[in-house]
């Protein structure tokens, strides 16, 4: 498991956790986060694009 403190986007006590799980040659990334309402649009709209880019890079 890789963890990020998410300093800029999470409230005190908030978190961003990234879990990578490999099964039969397929890696799944699960993101669990707790953030302030001010950043919800960012995580809802920008994160999927960023995660798709991560997927593209990892599949090269």
- What pLDDT score was predicted for residue 11? 57
Quickly tell me which residue has 């990234």 as its tokens: 18
Number of structural domains in the chain: 1
* Global pTM value: 0.58
**Residues 6+ positions from 28 with CB-CB distance below 8 Å:** 20, 21, 22
Q: Are 33 and 17 in contact (CB under 8 A)?
A: yes
- What pLDDT score was predicted for residue 24? 93
- What pLDDT score was predicted for residue 12? 62
If you compute the radius of gyration of the chain from its CA atoms, what whole number of angstroms results?
13
Range of the domain at 49: 2-58
The pLDDT tens digits of the residues spanning 1-60 come to 444 444 455 556 567 888 888 899 888 888 888 888 888 888 888 888 888 888 888 888
The helix (H) or strand (E) run that includes residue 49 is helix 47-58
Quickly tell me which residue has 């999470």 as its tokens: 10
């Amino acid at each position: 498991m890789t963890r990020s403190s998410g300093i800029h986007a999470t409230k005190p006590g908030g978190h961003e956790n990234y879990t990578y799980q490999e099964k039969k040659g397929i890696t799944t990334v699960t993101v669990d986060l707790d953030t302030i309402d001010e950043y919800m649009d960012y995580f809802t709209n920008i994160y999927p694009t960023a995660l798709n880019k991560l997927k593209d890079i990892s599949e090269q």
